[in-house]
Amino acid sequence: MNKIVFALIISLFLFLNNRTKAQEVDAYFYYAPFYVPGSGTYVETYLAFAGHSMRYLLNTDKVFEASAEVTMLFKNDADIVEYRKFKVVSPGLPDTTSVFPSFIDQHRIMIPEGVYNFELTIRDINAPDSIKPFELSELITVHIPPDEISFSGIELIERYEATQKQNIFVKNGYECIPYVSDFFPNQINQIKFYAELYNAAISLGPMEDFLFQFHIESSNTHKPIKEFSSFQKQKAQNVNVVFNEINISKLPTGNYYLVIEVRDRQNNQILEKRKFFQRKNNYEGTPANEMATIEVQHTFAAKYTNKDTLAIYLSSLRPISDIAENRFIDNQLVAANLKMMQQYFYSFWQKRNETNPELAWNEYRLNLNVVEQKYSSQQKHGFATDRGRVYLQYGPPSSIIEEKNEPNAYPYEIWHYYKIADQTDRKFIFYNKTLLNQDYELLNSTMKGEMSNSFWESELYSRSGNWVESNLKTNKSKARELFEGK
First to last CA, the chain: 32
pLDDT (0 to 100) of residue 98? 72
Q: Confidence band (pLDDT; 50, 70, 90) for 471?
A: low
4 or 159: which leads in pLDDT: 159
Amino acid at 464: S
Among 111, 180, 170, CA closest to 144: 111
Dihedral over Cα of 343, 349, 351, 355: its sign: negative
Q: Please, are residues 161 and 174 in contact by the beta-carbon 8 Å criterion? A: yes
The pLDDT, as a whole number, for residue 165 is 86
Helix (H) or strand (E) holding 210: strand 209-218
Q: Tell me the pLDDT tens digit for each residue of 383-428.
A: 999 999 999 999 999 999 999 999 889 999 999 999 887 788 899 9
Question: CA dist 342 to 279, 288, 369, Å?
Answer: 29, 16, 21
Task: Return the higher-pLDDT residue of 278 and 282.
Answer: 278
Position 22 pLDDT exceeds 70? no
Cα 234 from Cα 260, distance rounded (Å): 14
Whether the pLDDT of residue 368 is over 90: the answer is yes
What phi and psi values does residue 316 have, to the nearest 5 degrees? Answer: -70, -10
Tens of pLDDT, residues 151-178 = 999 999 998 888 888 889 998 888 999 9
Task: Considering only CA atoms, give the Rg of the chain.
Answer: 25
Q: What is the DSSP letter of 60?
A: T
Mean pLDDT (the chain, rounded): 88
Percentage of the residues of the chain whose pLDDT score is greater than 70: 91
Q: Check pLDDT > 50 for residue 11.
A: no
Q: d(Cα 183, Cα 322) in Å, to the nearest integer? A: 16
| The pLDDT of residue 458 is above 60 | yes
Domain ranges in the chain are 1-144, 291-388, 397-484
Q: Return the pLDDT at 138.
A: 87
Check whether 464 has a pLDDT greater than 80: no
pLDDT tens-digit map of 443-457: 999 998 898 898 899
User: In the chain, how many H helices and how many E strands?
Assistant: 9, 25
The sign of the CA dihedral 172, 177, 183, 189 is negative
Beta bridge partners of 117: 75, 139
Whole-number Å distance between alpha carbons of 439 and 375: 7
- Between strands 239-247 and 190-198, the pairing is antiparallel
Most confident of 71-75, 285-289, 343-347: 71-75
Question: Of how many residues is the chain composed?
Answer: 486
Residue 433 to residue 441: CA distance in whole angstroms: 8
Q: Does domain 1-144 have CATH number 1.10.10.60?
A: no
- Tens digit of each residue's pLDDT (9 = 90 or more) over 188-244: 999 999 999 999 999 999 999 999 999 999 888 788 888 899 999 999 999 999 999
The pLDDT of residue 284? 65
Share of the chain above pLDDT 90, in %: 62
This model's pTM is above 0.85: no
Q: Cα–Cα–Cα angle for 264, 269, 270, nearest 5°?
A: 75
Q: Is the per-residue pLDDT at 2 higher than 70?
A: no
Residue burial 391-411, b: 16+ Cβ < 10 Å; e: rest: bbbbeebeeeeebeebebbbb
